[in-house]
Amino acid sequence: MLIVSPRIEYIDFAKGYAIVTIVCYHALQQVALPEALQRAIVFGGTGVHLFFALSGFGLAWSAGQDSVWAFYRRRMGKVWAPYVLALTLSWAAAAWLGIFPDGRDAWLAGVALYQMFFERYIESFGGHFWFVSAIMQFYLAFPVLYWLQKKLSGKKFLVLAFALSLGWWLLVFGLGKSELRVWNSFFLQFLWEFALGMALAKAVKTQKINLQPALETNRYTWFYLGAGLFFTGLMIGMVAKMGETGRIFNDVPAFLGYTALSLFVYRIGKSILPWLNRFFLWTNGFSYSLYLIHVLVLHLCMWVLGATVLHLSSTVLYLMMVIPAAQVFEQCWQLLKRSIS
């Protein structure tokens, strides 16, 4: 029998933290940094790995409350509809201001969700919408994954998921498709992370695992820092030595390093800098909106400045603007949703 546990604060913190680091990563990509720093900022982009695990956790946490069709309707309303709004704004900006080279065909590919199968479309309107494509693939697959989770033991479920991901990595590498987004960002690439989140949610709900000692004490704080630096360094090293091939096989150290450092920041926030945790928990409330429009705001800022690259000062200005912009987008979406419901 499942036992519903209290809400886990770290989950909300981690969602806000992951989105903020991704926003910073995309901004710093537009800054002329030394080569070593260009490699180091890759850390921010690895927030997607933790987010896949958090998505699996969240879906498994609330699974079983809806029929399959009700589940799809809920997901489409929560994820696809605001995505379409963000796509439309990006298309409008591309048409009027020329800040993106993409047009109506790319917009239609995103709206109709076949963007995920075509290299020419998957990185349209700034490149970040590939993540939404991957999430939508997980939503399509979730009923089957949840059925497998109920049929298999926790270990067998995780082994199966990791085996499928490993098989996909080897297939992509063997076919020489490592540099193609439709291949290196297909949902099987990240299945093991999503399944890990699902397995953790089930273990917590059934009280097989108690996360409180790891999350609410300082006992492991410096271990998190050491592990985070080690695995992040390993991830960056793999990318530096192996290029795009390294990106295919570095998901494990990327996930472990990023997650460990997020736990370190969470514990520092709990014990020393409470405002830091409050900021990431607050950001979680509109994190999806922030993800959807942050690249659009970035390119609009560069258009206004007439810049092809950013300086650090203008990057700080952008970061101060993007959060209010995301809040406005969130409020507009909520108003639109209420008006059509």
Q: How confident is the model at residue 45 (pLDDT cuts 50, 70, 90)?
A: confident
Predicted pLDDT of residue 246: 63
* 3 within some domain: no
| Cβ within 8 Å of residue 216, ≥6 positions away | 270
Contact indicator for 164, 191 with CB cutoff of 8 Å: yes
Q: How confident is the model at residue 2 (pLDDT cuts 50, 70, 90)?
A: very low
Dump the DSSP string for 10-37. Answer: HHHHHHHHHHHHHHHHHHHTTB---HHH
Predicted pLDDT of residue 259: 94
DSSP H/E element including 239 = helix 221-242
Bridge partners of residue 31, in order along the sequence: 310
Q: How many CB atoms lie within 10 A of CB 267?
A: 23
Residue 1 pLDDT exceeds 90: no
Predicted pLDDT of residue 3: 45
Q: Which residue range forms the structural domain that includes residue 199? A: 9-340
CB-side exposure of 264: number of CA atoms within 13 Å? Answer: 14
List Cα–Cα distances, 177 to 162, 183, 237, in angstroms: 20, 6, 21
154 class by beta-carbon count within 10 Å (0-12 exposed, 13-18 middle, 19+ buried): middle
Residue 337 pLDDT exceeds 90: no
Query: In the chain, how many domains are there?
Result: 1
What are the structure tokens assigned to 138, written together? 């997980």
Q: Residue 303 corresponds to which amino acid?
A: W
What is the pTM for the complete model shown? 0.90
At 4-31, the pLDDT tens digits run 456 789 999 999 999 999 998 888 888 8
**Cα(60)–Cα(63) distance, rounded to whole angstroms?**
5
- For 310, list phi and psi in degrees, rounded to 5: -105, 150
DSSP H/E element including 117 = none
Q: Calculate the CA 102 to chain-centre distance.
A: 23
Q: In whole numbers, what is the pLDDT of the chain averaged over residues? A: 88
Residue 40 pLDDT exceeds 80: no
At 225-258, the pLDDT tens digits run 999 999 988 887 777 676 666 667 888 999 999 9
Closest CA to 201 of 59, 15, 10: 59
* 126 within some domain: yes
Predicted pLDDT of residue 244: 63
* 4 within some domain: no
Q: What is the longest distance spanned by two Cα atoms in the chain?
A: 60
Residue 64 pLDDT exceeds 80: no
Closest CA to 210 of 200, 219, 196, 195: 200
At 287-329, the pLDDT tens digits run 999 999 999 999 999 898 887 888 878 888 888 899 999 999 9
For the chain, give the percent of residues with pLDDT over 70: 93
Please give the torsion angle defined by the CA atoms of residues 97, 102, 108 and 112, in that order, rounded to the nearest 10 degrees.
-120
| Cβ within 8 Å of residue 17, ≥6 positions away | 47, 262, 265, 266, 280, 283
Q: How far apart are the first and last CA of the chain?
A: 36
Closest CA to 11 of 72, 55, 66: 55
List Cα–Cα distances, 183 to 36, 126, 186, 269, in angstroms: 27, 18, 5, 38
Q: How confident is the model at residue 154 (pLDDT cuts 50, 70, 90)?
A: confident
Contact indicator for 14, 262 with CB cutoff of 8 Å: yes
* 1 within some domain: no
At 198-215, the pLDDT tens digits run 999 998 888 788 877 778
For 306: left if phi > 0, alpha if psi spans -120 to 50, otherwise beta; the answer is: left
**Cα(47)–Cα(50) distance, rounded to whole angstroms?**
5
* 208 within some domain: yes
SS3 state of residue 310: strand
Contact indicator for 282, 330 with CB cutoff of 8 Å: no
